Amino acid sequence: MTRSVASLLLFAMLVAGCNRQDAATAPVPDNAANASPVAEVVRPRGAERVVLAFGDSLYAGYGLDRGQSLPDAVQARLRRAGINATVVNAGVSGDTTAAGRQRLAFVLNQMKQKPELVMLGLGGNDVLRQISPAETRANLTAMVEELHRRELPVLLTGMRAPPNLGPAYVGAFDTIWPDLAERYDEKLYPFILDGVIGNPALMQGDRVHPNAQGVARIADRVTPLVAQALAAAPAPAPVSASR
């Protein structure tokens, strides 16, 4: 989402109308004011659990200090819960679903350890550029199918179109993520900016990207889904220190 400030502001004003509350999982208290999104030094238990966060600027941490991105915040919460998780940040600012589709296999092939879960968060730049929802759907479907081919569970973090783009566009765009989650039996957080966009206290000056407090609120809601997915997967065997 690295377009002109004017475009970003327009997008923010439009998407603010989409700020609806969804229950992707059991309610999680919004304690962002007291939670730090910066990764903490802790002593988690068990073998390392690797999660790949594959997305755009909302994953990359656009406009934030190092250690304040959403993957960092999710990792910190998992470790505070005693889960020895490493969340690998593969977010690239400006990526569309087409760009993500092109680089997904390369990123997976370069990982030293196979992830147990892939957080997939793309689509914001598609709606910013008003790319056809059919194209967005095709790209996301191809990525989910590639992950299925590799036997990798997926957590979809969805996006929504602003109502000003018209009911036809909104209807075609907003149904992409629920349809994919149902079709492939994957976990879904319907709207990644839910409860954050439209709140100046939780957003950066561009009105599109969350600030550290906004990231904390998103992480509070997304982390339980990540933890559930890891609990459902068999833990890898610990790697021996001696070789």
DSSP class of residue 210 equals: B
Residue 237 lies in a domain: no
**Which pair of tokens denotes residue 95?**
């990526």
User: Is 19 within a domain?
Assistant: yes
Q: What is the reported pTM?
A: 0.82
pLDDT digits (tens, 9 = 90+) for 149-192: 999 999 999 999 999 999 999 999 999 999 999 999 999 999 99
Give residue-wise pLDDT tens across range 219-238. 999 999 999 999 988 666 55
Check 56, 57, 69, 194 and give the catalytic one: 57
- CA 19 remoteness from chain centre: 17
CATH of the domain at 63: 3.40.50.1110
62 phi/psi in degrees, rounded to 5:
-55, 130
Q: Is residue 241 part of a domain?
A: no
- 3-state SS, residue 239: coil
- Pick the catalytic residue from 72, 194, 206, 220: 206
Measure the CA–CA gap between 231 and 243, rounded to whole angstroms.
Answer: 29
> How confident is the model at residue 20, as a pLDDT?
38
Q: Which residue numbers in the chain have pLDDT < 70?
A: 1-43, 234-243
The answer to whether position 243 is within a domain reads: no
Active site residue 209: yes
Residue of 69, 72, 209, 220 with catalytic role:
209
Residue with tokens 């589709």: 101
The structural domain count of the chain equals: 1
Within a domain: residue 180? Answer: yes
Domain that holds residue 195: 5-232
56 lies in a domain?
yes
